[in-house]
Amino acid sequence: MKQHNQTQKNKLATAARSLSEALLTLETPAEIKAFLEDLCTPAEIEAMVDRWRVVQLLVQKNSYREINQLTGVSVTTIGRVARFMDMGAGGYNIALDRLGKTA
């Protein structure tokens, strides 16, 4: 990650909040897809899709090796996703709960 001074950190926090608010304005999966395609590179979208797929497979109690074989995602990334499911900001679990899936 880039190094920022305090002023830059404050501006970045404001911009991050603005991004979150922009996401909240989107109402359909098609709108979110269009926004993400404008915002992110194809590789960034693929990485997010891979991580979300890993979340779903972890919830289904697949082993890291099984997930690696199914997705091609590295065992290191799978472990990172699992760690964030347990000790992250809680976003994965909020989404899972709202989709009716359990972590």
Residue 103 is predicted with a pLDDT of 62
Question: Is 41-103 in CATH node 3.40.50.300?
Answer: no
User: Measured between alpha carbons, how far is 35 from 25 in angstroms, rounded to an integer?
Assistant: 11
- Domains of the chain, by residue range, sit at 1-39, 41-103
- Give 8's pLDDT tier (boundaries 50, 70, 90): confident
- Give 1's pLDDT tier (boundaries 50, 70, 90): low
* Each residue's pLDDT tens digit, 54-99: 999 999 999 999 999 999 999 999 999 999 999 999 999 999 999 9
